[in-house]
Structure 1
């Protein structure tokens, strides 16, 4: 496989950060964590980019949001959005992108890739839920009911998509 130039890598990284921002706006507001297609973009980044570029695309996405650009779900941006109640899930996108990309680049087994996608999503859920609990004072059961249970099947469908 031909190596991509540094410029191609930067363009792909920026493209997937932008795609994540755009798909994050396609949402259905249910509960405290909106259901959106941002996770689908993260799975795509992990599937199509190298591990380093997949992680970098999520870092660019975070930085754009932290600087105030309205890239997070509901056209939110700024440090308050990134570090608010749902910020842990956005930061958890890194796990999905990285685990998926590592599996795609080091295994051709569909089962291994799907397992890596599930592991990345589980880490994202874990990180985001702990973050949510810390900021809201809710217990684990209530946080999982509000922030994870409604999203397991839709997020699994995004991985299969």
Structure 2
């Protein structure tokens, strides 16, 4: 199969994955717990450099045009421009960091949780600053509402996503090396 078609297909599949997981949420105050960050961690851990960014851009575009792929099955530009939209925007630098750091060495587990923690910090930063400006609340209040209640959930998601992405990447690398060796012998 053509490499370009493979890449486009992979990006589309991951965008669909993000669109399917993101709307499911558990409300905790103004900001719900979603599976979006779990999907984001996996996407960053499985993609090469800017491919993860393309996945998230597709997801955001789908949501902006009104398809209900954001938390609590919402869609439209108003969600992105609203008080919690900064977290959606924060997915962009977060997935870049995760992708770049896990690409350093996909065979070393260490890079997965490290990259996901750093990506989460970036996402928290962008989203919390955005929330502060949109709601005119203090940093202390924003951290109390937007960060503290989610830390334990994100730790769990990071652990699971790190393990899953690592296993998939190691198996893929192993399979690719075996498969390329078979092709050379044919």
Q: TM-score, normalised by structure 1?
A: 0.93
The secondary structure found in structure 2 opposite 1:51 is coil
Partner of 2:45: 47
Aligned residue pairs total 159
1:34-88 deviations in Å (ceiling 9; x for gaps) = 1011101001111111121101000001111111111101111111011111110
Task: Note the residue ranges of structure 2 that are not aligned, 5 or more in a row.
Answer: 161-186
Partner of 2:155: 156
* Conserved 8 A contact 1:95-1:121: no
Partner of 1:94: 92
* 1:4-15 paired onto structure 2 within 5 Å: 5-15=3-13
Partner of 1:65: 63
Q: RMSD value over aligned CA atoms?
A: 1.5
Moved over 4 A (4+): none
Partner of 1:114: 113
Partner of 1:32: 30
* Conserved 8 A contact 2:15-2:58: yes
**Which sits farther off after the overlay, 120-129 or 5-14?**
5-14
Q: TM-score, normalised by structure 2?
A: 0.81
Distance 1:30 1:122, change over 3 A: same
